[in-house]
Amino acid sequence: MTDRPKFVADDHLARLARLLRAVGYDTLWKNPISDREILRQSAGRTLLTRHVKLVRDGKPADFVLIAHDDVMDQLKQVAAEKQLTLQPDLFFTRCTACNGTLEPVEKSAVFDELPEHVRGTLDKFRQCPSCGKLYWEGSHTDRIREKLAAAGLMGE
Ligand SMILES: [Zn+2]
């Protein structure tokens, strides 16, 4: 848990950044971002990029030069190169929108913000303290788990 790698993803890798956050990795992403700023942010993080020139000229300490277009292939490449083992108990602990760390929130406190179809069916909710976005288990999280499993990223 303490040695989990952190990432910063370049402007072309929005979907990968969101997916890494969804599976629990601290991942910075901003668009637009200058080469200078993303290199500065890569201190203590693994830079994920498709820009050969950024790696060649900027010489980041740690990087993965992403070779794929498909986001699951991109995640597979990062997992292989950084020897990541995804931990399902850390899934959906970060805000995919802003990288904040989600906190449990009482249903009664957010009831008015919930869509009709989850009000009556679900009881566990998490909220991003930074941007306020609400999260719950549902078809979206099931779909991500299925895709990860299909990509062979869920372990045994
Ligand atoms: Zn957020």
Q: For the whole model, what pTM was predicted?
A: 0.94
Domains recognised in the chain with CATH numbers: 1-86 (3.40.50)
Q: From ligand 1's centre to the CA of 26, what distance in Å?
A: 12
Q: From ligand 1's centre to the CA of 101, what distance in Å?
A: 8
Q: From ligand 1's centre to the CA of 57, what distance in Å?
A: 32
CA distance 127 to 91: 14
Please name the residue ranges forming H helices in the chain: 14-22, 35-41, 52-58, 71-81, 107-110, 116-119, 139-150
Residue 118's nearest CA partner among 138, 102, 133 is 138
Q: From ligand 1's centre to the CA of 48, what distance in Å?
A: 21
Q: From ligand 1's centre to the CA of 139, what distance in Å?
A: 20
CA distance 24 to 26: 7
Query: What's the pLDDT tens digit per position in 2-59?
Result: 579 999 999 999 999 999 999 999 999 999 999 999 999 999 999 999 999 999 999 9
Query: What's the pLDDT tens digit per position in 50-104?
Result: 999 999 999 999 999 999 999 999 999 999 999 999 999 999 999 999 999 999 9
CB atoms within 10 A of CB 118: 15
Q: From ligand 1's centre to the CA of 90, what distance in Å?
A: 16
At 156 the pLDDT is 56
Residue 46 backbone phi and psi in degrees, to 5:
-90, 125
Cα torsion through 68, 43, 86, 148, rounded to 10: -30
Residue 79 backbone phi and psi in degrees, to 5:
-60, -40
Q: From ligand 1's centre to the CA of 129, what distance in Å?
A: 7
